[in-house]
Amino acid sequence: MLTYIIRRLFILPLILIGVTMLVFAMLSMLTPYERASLYVSDIPKRQGAIEDIVKKYGLDDPIHIQYWRWMVGQKDEVTGEIDGGILRGDMGFSTVGHMPVAEVIKHRLPATAELALLSAIPLIGLSVWMGIKSAVHHNKLPDQILRVLAIIGWSVPTFVLGLLLLMFFYAKLDWFPPERLSLWASQIVQSGEFTRYTQMNTIDSLLNLRFDIFLDALRHLVLPVITLSIISWAFLLRVTRSSMLDTLRQDYMTTARAKGLNERRVIKGHAVPNALIPVITVGGMTLIGLFNGVVITETIFNYPGLGKFMAASAAMLDVVSVLGMTLFSSFVLVFGNLIVDVLYGIVDPRIRLD
């Protein structure tokens, strides 16, 4: 198993270099004057200031020199310090966030991570369990009901479902409000009395023994979690059901039954482990997508995560922020794929022995 993980780790730097090249290629489509916004926090008012920035950072140099400077930074001739550099965490300045892109990601990532983790619990747990039940009771009443629910859940667009939930449960019943916290809870969280450990409201409120804030945070998370879970739940249920049905038809399943094993042991010991491999792929990619920030859901519920920041940056034509988020999302995807590969080796020993 260790050899299998080491092989995957050796491939990782090459993939990351390829990702940075693709992002830089998109950045190179801009003119040197447009790319100067990477290095300034405001539009210079002085005549010729942009030309000075282009000259200082060599934005009209050959492309390979610009790529190297973009990756490792550039030494300042006056102070001797190194400015910029993706490897140093400098992705440029966000005009939408009014701070460096890396700081915006650091500030908003806990909110998206909290939403993604709470969405993953019902998403992965229920969809896998229901998919297995649907396949075991193939063409029977439970299977028919779950198939209908999966089709309905997969067919409803995210923005339609989110707006319907918001109109009914907030506008009409006033049960589950949008945003992340109520005003009174937000004031307490931002005060010196409340210690921030993880920047996740549900966890931090429990660590501070503030159960009133914990309940308020959950109220604000209910509708976004349902909106995110329904669509992905329906798809993952269908994948689990299809994989399980295919596994149940294999010859080794007939052999296991012929040996006298009861049906429950056949399903749990033989069918489920073999059917989980495609489920791990889809589930892993779905969870990675949640961590990257779901643009539509966070925008509908005014949830201050990475998805809403990405939508605002695109709407305001903040190219630096969009490319910075693209680079961050690519890194998350690459490392997420590594975790999925490791899970492959744990679930199926044949893979790590290839």
Q: What is the DSSP string of 170-214?
A: IIIS--S-SSSS-HHHHHHHTSTTS--SSS-HHHHHHHTT-HHHH
* pTM of the entire predicted model: 0.80
Instruction: List CB contacts of 236: < 8 A, sequence separation 6 or more.
Output: 123, 124, 127, 128, 131, 279, 282, 283, 286
Instruction: Tell whether the model's pLDDT for residue 336 goes beyond 60.
Output: yes
Rg of the chain (C-alpha set)? 25
Contact (Cβ atoms closer than 8 angstroms) between residue 292 and residue 333: yes
Instruction: List CB contacts of 185: < 8 A, sequence separation 6 or more.
Output: 201, 212, 213, 216, 217
Are 321 and 199 members of one domain?
yes
- Amino acid (1-letter code) at residue 335: F
User: For residue 52, what pLDDT is reported?
Assistant: 75
Instruction: Tell whether the model's pLDDT for residue 50 goes beyond 60.
Output: yes
92/347 Cα distance (integer angstroms): 41
Burial tier of 149 (Cβ tally within 10 Å: 0-12, 13-18, 19+):
middle
Domain boundary among 90, 115, 135: 90
User: For residue 60, what pLDDT is reported?
Assistant: 76
Among candidate residues 286, 277, 246, the one with its CA nearest the CA of residue 341: 277
Among candidate residues 119, 28, 133, 8, the one with its CA nearest the CA of residue 70: 28
Are 170 and 37 members of one domain?
no
User: For residue 41, what pLDDT is reported?
Assistant: 58
Instruction: Tell whether the model's pLDDT for residue 38 goes beyond 70.
Output: no
Are 59 and 114 members of one domain?
no
Are 137 and 79 members of one domain?
no
Range from 4-18, 136-150, 162-176 carrying the lowest mean pLDDT: 4-18
Are 78 and 205 members of one domain?
no
Which residue range(s) make up the domain with 301? 99-347
- The answer to whether residue 15 is domain-embedded is no
User: For residue 202, what pLDDT is reported?
Assistant: 92
pLDDT band for 271, please (50, 70, 90 cuts). Answer: confident
Instruction: Tell whether the model's pLDDT for residue 86 goes beyond 70.
Output: yes
- The answer to whether residue 2 is domain-embedded is no
Domain boundary among 73, 90, 107: 90
Among candidate residues 133, 118, 148, the one with its CA nearest the CA of residue 217: 118
- The answer to whether residue 12 is domain-embedded is no
Domain boundary among 90, 114, 139: 90
- What token pair was written down for 160? 């339609």
299/297 Cα distance (integer angstroms): 5
Counted domains in the chain = 2
pLDDT band for 223, please (50, 70, 90 cuts). Answer: very high
